[in-house]
Structures are given as C-alpha cells and as structure tokens.
Amino acid sequence: MKTGSKLNWGVLFALCVSNAYAAENAHNNTEDRIAKLQKMLEEQQWQMKAMAEELAALQQGRSSDKGKSKGSPVYAAFKDGLVFDDGSGDWKLQLNGRIQADYRNFNPDEWKNDGFFIRRARLGGTFSFLNDFAVRVEGEYNNVSDGSKATTALTYGYLDYAKWKGAKIRVGQFKPFFGLERAQSTNFTDFTELSLATNNGSIFNSTYDRGLMVFGDPLPWLNYSAYYVNGSGQNNDDIKDSKDIGARVNANLAKFTDSKGLVLHVGTSASKGSIDSSSTSKSIKQSTEGNGVEFFNIANIANIATNISTTDRTRFGLEAAVAYGPVKFQSEYIQANFEGKQGLAAPGVAYDNDIKTWYADVNWLVTGEAYADAYKSGVFGRIKPKNNLDDKAGWGAFELGLRYSKFDASDFEAIKTANTTTEADAWTAGAKWLFNPNARLVLNYIHTNFDNAIVVNNRRENVEQAINLRAQYDF
C-alpha cells in the first residue's frame, strides 16, 4: 500500500473518531442542559407554589380576623382622618385635627389691630368599640391671645351609644344643634366666620355645653336632635338647678323627587333656659362677623352672686336651603327673648326684650361640583373637588359666595352700654380655593354698617371694613 493511501486512511479514521467523540459530547451536553432546565423549572414552580400558599394564608388570616377580634395585624388608612382598626370591626381609632391660620385687616385701624391669628388649632380622636359605642375627645390649642391661659381647652368630650340609627344617645360635652350654620363643622362653613345671626355673641354665648342629647335619622329624609344641657357653656359645670332644653328638626324634601343633585332643606329649632353666671357681671354682647369690634353690649345681667333674679332666654329659629348642582341658596331667621333684671345690686332694672336676626347667602361652585354630594343628616359637609391640585390636569375647586346678615336688638335701646348700637347689617363677599378635600384657602371681604355711630378708642364711625384670609388644613 502506498504511503499516501495510508495517510488518507489515517486522516479518515481520525475524523471518524473525532466526529464520534463530538457527537457523544454534544449528546451529553444536551442532556445536561435539559437536566438543568428541568431543575430550574422545578425550583420556579416550587417558588410560585410557596408564594401562592403564602398569599392564601394571608388572605385567610385577614378574613379570619374579621369577627374574631384577634387584634393582629392592625390596619391603617386615611379617610377623613387617620384611622386604625384590627380588621374585626370591634374597635377603631380615628385621629382628627385642624389648623386655621388667619390674616385680618381692619378699617378703622384704631378699632382693631391687623395681624396674623390662629383661629383654631385642634387635635383629637374618636375611639369606637363594641360596634355601638364611641368616645370622642378633642383639645383646642388656641386659647386666650394674651397668653394668660396656656393650657389646652376641651371642646368635645362625650360618649355615644349608636345602636339605633334613629335614636343615638350622646352624653358629655358637645355642640347642641341649633340652626343650619351652627350645626355644620367649622371646617366646612361657606365663609370664614358665621353670620351676625349665628356667630357666638348675644344669642349664642357658647358653642359647647354639657348634658345629654338624643339625635338621629329615623327616615332617609328626616333628621332631628333633642338635648338637655347645663346652659353654662364650654368647660363650665352647672351653677344652678335649671337646665337648657332644646331641639332641632329638619327634612330634605328632595328625597321625594327623582333628582339626585337636588337638596330641598327645611328645618326649625327651639330652646328654653337661662344664662346665669356665678361671676359678679354677665353681659349680652355682639361683635362683627370678621372678629372685629364689639358693637352691642348689655352689661350686668344674670347675677346670682348678688341675688338678682335669673335671666331667662327663649330661642326660636327657621332654616331653609335649596341646592341644585353647583349652586346653593341658604337662609335662617332666629329670634331670642331675654327676660330678667339688670344691675349690680338688687332689685335691678327689669326687662323683657327680643333680639331678631337673619341672613341669606348664595354660593356657586365654579368648577361644577354638586352640593348634594356633601349633604348628609341635615348639614352640608366636605366638598370633594373633581380634580385635586396635585393631579396632572387639576387645579382643585373654586367657589364664590355672597351673604347678607341683619342684627336687630332695638328693644334694648334704653339699657344698652354707652357708645354702642343696637342694630347692624353686614355684606360678606367670599372666594374659596379648595386644593383637595382637606386643604383650602379662603378670602372674605366684610362690610358692616351700624345704625348709629359707635366710639372705640376715641374713634367714632358707623362702618367697619374687614378682610379675612384663611389657610386651612384638616383631617
């Protein structure tokens, strides 16, 4: 055999051996790769199964918490306050707070100082337990502006029993409901302050009182409240045996129509009691809407200390509101009768006089939100903008308002304090920017006319002008 032939056969043999080895090696590599992929798939399937079992266990655990009140875990959410609960429905803690920071400008300057004010700064909470009970405690951190009282003042401090929707029971210190403006939370009033008819003053000496109240919604269109309180005001225990008794009843007649965007609110309120005081002097007095000058004062009444007979107070009010879509009209009339004696020594000067007040306002949500969405249980509450300011295409909600209010205490002309007047009326124009449901900026211009010129700090005028600007956040 030739050498060349031997070489060719050698090369051919080497190629065959190499190909066989490569084929065997490729076969082995393929099997190894398949084995690795199968192992990875099995591991992933195990992980997915473990995750599914963990998710099912969590869902089952949360479901099992419902109704068993295990108390673990505790869930938190933000909905009109910071809310904590254990998922069982047996207990819930809701924390609430508000800050209302004002700037006020007055004319004449001699009557009232311009400046920055903290109108309200509150923090509190409501603890609900055993399904039907709730305790609310709230503190006011804005007290006397001269710093003489630095401690927190109690606003709300009560216990509710709410087993029956139509007859809830409240005991402690709370706000007795009278009229439409005063029944609303001060977080949601149409203007920075209440009208001459309903703000704290001659007719309403205190927002809060201590006693017992029954209230509720016995029918979808009917709301009521009835109370029996000391009549001595906020953070004051009783100093007499007599009590204030009162009630408010209101209805939304729009429930008898097919319109969901309509509110037809009518109501009435009444109360009877006294305004006695353990101090040596008690007054009936009134200031302007913008927390401005005090223009009306009947001094030295209701003096138990000097054994002068008590001053009885009887109040009656009518209220109405019509809201359709973004427009709302609202009005109230209140008449209060005062019967007693004036003077620092017996027997005093007897009187039996009336104070008559009323207001009417109109408000327009320029951005199209509906007032009906904020109406519940006889009051208007939180407006929710269609688009919040922090949304990409949103600017929040805008509202414009105009109010006229009238105060008439002319029955007291003969015994009023010098340099004051018995009649006044006020126009308030307002603009409101709601950044979101919890934050707002409110601007009001208030023009008050006095029937007779009054003298304050040696300046005599018959007109007060005020600008109130408020930045507010609540939760």
pLDDT band at 337 (very low <50, low <70, confident <90, very high): very high
Q: What is the pLDDT of residue 23?
A: 47
Two tokens, residue 214: 């029954």
Short-list 167, 346, 372, CA closest to 263: 372
Question: What pLDDT, in 10s, does the model give residues 60-93?
Answer: 655 444 444 454 578 888 887 899 988 777 889 9
In sequence order, which ranges of 80-232 are alpha helices (DSSP H)?
A: 180-183
Q: What is the pLDDT of residue 404?
A: 98
* Tally of CB atoms within 10 A around 230: 18
CB 98 within 8 A of CB 117: no
Token look-up 């009306």 returns 296
Please give the torsion angle defined by the CA atoms of residues 50, 53, 54 and 60, in that order, rounded to the nearest 10 degrees: 180
Token look-up 């809830």 returns 168
Question: Residue 459 to residues 292, 395, 403, 423, 463: CA-CA distances in angstroms?
Answer: 14, 44, 27, 19, 11
Of 124-133, 196-205, 341-350, 456-465, minimum mean pLDDT range = 341-350
Tell me the percentage of the chain whose pLDDT exceeds 90: 64
CATH number of 75-474: 2.40.160.10
Rounded Cα gap, residues 406 and 421, in angstroms: 13
Question: What pLDDT, in 10s, does the model give residues 216-265?
Answer: 999 999 999 999 999 888 888 877 777 899 999 999 999 999 999 999 99
Question: What pLDDT, in 10s, does the model give residues 152-193?
Answer: 889 999 999 999 999 999 999 999 999 999 999 999 999 999
pLDDT band at 281 (very low <50, low <70, confident <90, very high): low
